[in-house]
Amino acid sequence: MIYQVEGDILLSKAYAIAHGVGLNDPMDKGLALALHTRHPAMRRDFERWCHQHNTRPGEAWLWVGPDNAHIVNLITLENVDSPEHHFGKATLSNLKHALDALVKIIAKEKIPSIALPRLATGTGDLDWDDVWPLIENSLGELDIPVYVYTTYHAGQHAHEPII
């Protein structure tokens, strides 16, 4: 069941948090920066994983931290071969494939609940009206609570039903 909530995703009681990234993302903006600040090893481990697995946009990777934090990195951003830019914009195709990969991770790891932001609408530059139907179609049939943080309110707990 999908719930649209408002608040600070970093205060979520969900078992895992998913967010959009690019390959070798410096994680220096938005939610990625907040997660990297909280879990500095995640970015280093993500870079290692990308290099070891010939990772492509549209994939997803679960990181489990020493404090049992579960972060799913959804690779939604295109690669750009430019010294000034680490990655390009998100695509709906990459997002769809990353959401499909997320569903597989949820099933394999038996993740009981997940929270995610308005994926690919910040740095990714996609329109929420195009993103929301992909989230609904990919995650709507899951038998776990899916909390989509549609509006960010710093320091505010969201009402997350069922947890």
Average the pLDDT over each of 29-33, 84-88, 119-123, 158-162 and give the range with the smallest value.
Answer: 84-88
Q: Per-residue pLDDT averaged across 145-160, rounded? A: 96
Q: Where are the alpha helices (DSSP H) in the chain?
A: 30-38, 40-52, 92-109, 128-139
The pTM of this model reads 0.92
Domain ranges across the chain:
2-152
Q: What fold is seen in the domain 2-152?
A: Leucine Aminopeptidase, subunit E; domain 1 (3.40.220)
The C-alpha atoms of residue 45 and residue 28 are separated, in whole angstroms, by 16
